[in-house]
Structure 1
Amino acid sequence: MGWWAALTGRVRRRRPPLLHIATDEGTGPVVILVHGIASSSVTFRELVPLLTPRHRVIAVDILGFGESPAPEGCEYRLEDHVEALAATIRSLRLREPFVLVGHSLGSLIVARLAASPVTRFDRRTRISRVVLVGPPVYLSPTEIGDRWVRARVSVYLRAYAFLRENKDFTIGNAAIISRLLPKGIFEITERNWTPFVKSLEHCIESQTLVSDIASLRVPVDVVYGSLDAFIQSGSLTVIERMRHVTMHRVEANDHLIRPRLARELLTVIETATGADDRPADPDGPRAPASAAAR
C-alpha cells in the first residue's frame, strides 16, 4: 500500500488549489473579476456595486494573495495562477458563458486562461469576452524596434528586479503606500513576499501577454487610465492594431480602479452582455454613494 499512498499523494499535490471567492452576489450574466499583484479582490470595490443590479459578480483572490492559499514550494508561474483560477471557475459549475475581467497581473492571468484550448472546449469555462484593465505590457527589449520605448521598458524591468532583490526596502516602502489606500488594495508583507517576488519575475517580467491576446477567439477590451504609471507609452501599440481588440482610454485615472474607470468598465461590460437593455433592480443602487459623490 506504500506505493499507492505515494502515488495518490503526488496526485493530490498536483491538483490546483481552489482560490478564495471573496464576492458572489447579484443575478444575471456572470462577470468574474481577477485582481493583480500585491492586491486582493478589494481592487474592485468601486465596480462591484455598479454591476450587481444586473449581473452575477464573482471576485476571487489570486493564488498567494488576499485570503487565497499560498502553496508551499509554488513557483507562481503564470501556469500556476491559471490552473488555480480554472479549477475555481470549474467548481462554480457555471452553465452560461461569462465575461472575464483581469486587472494588472490579473490581465495576464485571464488572457492566458482564455487562450488555453482546454478552456475553450470545457463547458464550465466558456468565456464570452475578455476585459483587460491596466495590463502591464512589457515586450522583451530585444523585440522593441523603437529605441525610446525600448529604453523605457528596460528601466521598468530593472526597477522590478531591484524590488525583488531588496526585500527590506520594498516592504518598507509598500507599508507607507498601503497606509494611503483602502486595506487590501496594495500590500507587500512577509506573508505574501514569496508570491510577490515570484509572480513579478515569472509572470510580469517574463510574459507572453501579446501572443496570448493575439491567439484569442473572443472579443477583447483593454481599459486603461491616461495616468497609469505601469503602462509605458508605446507599449500598447501592438495590441491596438489587433482587429478583435477595442481600446478604452480613461482620462485622469491612474492604475487603480477609481470611480471614473469603474463607470467605463460598467459601460463596456453591460454593452458586451446586453445588460444595459434590461431594467435594474429597483431596490439596488445604480452606483455606490462614494462614486456618485465624486
Structure 2
Amino acid sequence: MTWWATLCERLGWTRPPLLHIAIDEGTGPVVILVHGIASSSETFRELVPLLVPRHRVIAVDILGFGESPIPEGCEYRLEDHVEALATTIRSLKLREPFILVGHSLGSLIAARLAAMPRTRASRRTQVSRVVLVGPPVYLSPTDIGERWVRARVNAYLRAYDFLRLNKEFTLANAAIIARLLPKGIFELTERNWTPFVKSLEHCIESQTVVSDIAAVRVPVDVVYGVLDAFIAAGSMTVIERMRHVTMHRVEANDHLIRPRLARALARVIDADDRAGAGALSAAAASSVTASTLTSVARLETWTHEPSEKPAESSP
C-alpha cells in the first residue's frame, strides 16, 4: 500500500468506485450512454446498433445497478452517482469531448456532470453535447403555481414514497413487470433494493435537474415519448424556455427506448451542431441560469404547449 493510500485509509477518504463498462464498440466521435434507475446498459439495446457505424459507443452501468459495484454505506446521492461516472470516464483517457446521453435517472446524472465547472483536472470529462431521454422532471410543489400541475407532481411524489415504504409490494410487482420486458431493461431485486430506494429518494424525489440544465454551457437536446408515464403533464415547460435546449417529442412511444424512439434519438445524436449553437459563452450561460432560476421561483402559470414538432411520426 502506498503512503497516499495509507493516508486516505486513516482519514476515511474513499475513491469513487469504477463503474462496469458494458459496451465499448465502434470508432469515431465518442457517445457515452447512461441508463436509469432499476435498469442496466440493456436500456440502449435498440440504440447501440444505430450509432456504432459512426461513433465509438460506450455504455456504463450506473452505481448500484447492472454489474456495477454496490458500495457498503453509500447513500446514492446524485453526487455519488456523478463522482463514480466521472471517475470511470477519466479512466478511459478520452482525448476529445464527447456526447453524453442519459435516460431517466441517467439524464439527471448527465445534466449534473455536464453542469460541473470545467477545471484542468476535469479535462478528461468534457462534454460537447448533452442528450436527455425521458427526464423525470419534478419541481418542488411549492414552486408550482398552476394547481393542476402541482397536483400531478404531488401524485408522482406520493407514489414514489409509497414504493419506497412498501418493499414487499414493490418487489412483487417489479418481478411481474420484469418478466414482460427483455432481460436487463428493468431489474429490481433484493440485491439492488438499497440503491433503488436511496436513488429514488435522493436523486429523483429531491432533484436539481432544472438548475443543472440551466447551468450547462453546451447544447442540450431533450427527447421524450408522448406516452411517457413518468413525465408529469406541464413539467417540461420550464426547460423548453431555456435558449440552449431543443425539445424533441416522439409520437406513440412510452418511457422505454423502443425502436421508434431509438431512431429519433440516433438522428438527434448524429445531427450536426445546430446553426448558431455551440458552447455558450460564460456571460450567456450566466444569463440563462439567472433568468431560468428566476422563472422557476416565480412560476405562476404552467401549461404544456410543445414548441417543437414531433421528432418522428411515421411507424
- For normalisation by structure 1, the TM-score amounts to 0.90
Structure 2 equivalent of residue 111 of structure 1: 111
Q: 1:5 to 1:65 in 2, by over 3 A?
A: closer
Q: CA deviation at 1:214?
A: 0.5
SS of match in other structure, 1:153: helix
Q: CA deviation at 1:257?
A: 0.2
Q: CA deviation at 1:141?
A: 0.3
The 8 Å contact of residues 46 and 259 in structure 1, kept in 2 or not, is answered as yes
Structure 1 equivalent of residue 170 of structure 2: 170
Distance of 1:217 and 1:273 partners within structure 2: 14
Structure 2 equivalent of residue 75 of structure 1: 75
The 8 Å contact of residues 120 and 126 in structure 1, kept in 2 or not, is answered as no
Q: 1:5 to 1:232 in 2, by over 3 A?
A: closer
Spell out, residue by residue over 1:209-233, the C-alpha distance to the aligned partner (whole angstroms, 9 max, x if none). Answer: 0000001100000000000000011
Structure 1 equivalent of residue 304 of structure 2: none
Q: 1:258 to 1:4 in 2, by over 3 A?
A: closer
Structure 2 equivalent of residue 200 of structure 1: 200
Q: CA deviation at 1:119?
A: 6.2
Spell out, residue by residue over 1:204-258, the C-alpha distance to the aligned partner (whole angstroms, 9 max, x if none). Answer: 0000000000011000000000000000110000000000000000000000000
Q: Which amino acid aligns with 1:17?
A: P
SS of match in other structure, 1:95: coil
Check if 1:141 corresponds to 2:141. Answer: yes
Structure 1 equivalent of residue 23 of structure 2: 23
Structure 2 equivalent of residue 284 of structure 1: none
Q: 1:120 to 1:103 in 2, by over 3 A?
A: farther
Q: CA deviation at 1:136?
A: 0.0
Identity of aligned residues (%): 82
Structure 1 equivalent of residue 100 of structure 2: 100
Q: Which amino acid aligns with 1:237?
A: T
Could you say which structure has the greater relative contact order, defined with CA pairs below 8 angstroms and 6 or more residues apart?
Answer: 1
Distance of 1:12 and 1:53 partners within structure 2: 45
The 8 Å contact of residues 33 and 102 in structure 1, kept in 2 or not, is answered as yes
The 8 Å contact of residues 65 and 192 in structure 2, kept in 1 or not, is answered as yes
Question: How many residues align structurally?
Answer: 274
For structure 1, which runs of at least 5 residues remain unmatched after alignment?
Answer: 275-293
Distance of 1:233 and 1:154 partners within structure 2: 12
Q: Which amino acid aligns with 2:30?
A: V
Distance of 2:102 and 2:151 partners within structure 1: 27
Distance of 1:12 and 1:114 partners within structure 2: 28
SS of match in other structure, 2:180: coil
Spell out, residue by residue over 1:179-209, the C-alpha distance to the aligned partner (whole angstroms, 9 max, x if none). Answer: 0000110011000000000000000000000
Q: 1:28 to 1:164 in 2, by over 3 A?
A: same
Q: CA deviation at 1:125?
A: 0.8
Structure 2 equivalent of residue 36 of structure 1: 36
Q: CA deviation at 1:7?
A: 3.1
Q: 1:10 to 1:148 in 2, by over 3 A?
A: farther
Distance of 1:83 and 1:11 partners within structure 2: 19
SS of match in other structure, 2:249: strand
Q: CA deviation at 1:14?
A: 1.7
Q: 1:218 to 1:120 in 2, by over 3 A?
A: farther
The 8 Å contact of residues 160 and 200 in structure 1, kept in 2 or not, is answered as yes
Structure 2 equivalent of residue 49 of structure 1: 49
Structure 2 equivalent of residue 179 of structure 1: 179
Check if 1:215 corresponds to 2:187. Answer: no
Distance of 1:61 and 1:116 partners within structure 2: 21
Q: CA deviation at 1:158?
A: 0.3
Structure 1 equivalent of residue 7 of structure 2: 7
- For normalisation by structure 2, the TM-score amounts to 0.84
List aligned pairs for 1:279-294, cutoff 5 A. none
The 8 Å contact of residues 118 and 126 in structure 2, kept in 1 or not, is answered as no
The 8 Å contact of residues 105 and 136 in structure 2, kept in 1 or not, is answered as yes
For structure 2, which runs of at least 5 residues remain unmatched after alignment?
Answer: 275-314
Distance of 2:49 and 2:10 partners within structure 1: 42
The 8 Å contact of residues 115 and 215 in structure 2, kept in 1 or not, is answered as yes
Check if 1:241 corresponds to 2:241. Answer: yes
Distance of 1:70 and 1:37 partners within structure 2: 14
Q: 1:252 to 1:119 in 2, by over 3 A?
A: farther
Distance of 1:125 and 1:97 partners within structure 2: 7
The 8 Å contact of residues 8 and 14 in structure 2, kept in 1 or not, is answered as no
Q: CA deviation at 1:126?
A: 1.1
Structure 2 equivalent of residue 291 of structure 1: none
Q: 1:273 to 1:92 in 2, by over 3 A?
A: farther
Query: Greater CA deviation, 4-13 or 48-57?
Result: 4-13
Distance of 1:265 and 1:96 partners within structure 2: 22
The 8 Å contact of residues 78 and 203 in structure 2, kept in 1 or not, is answered as yes
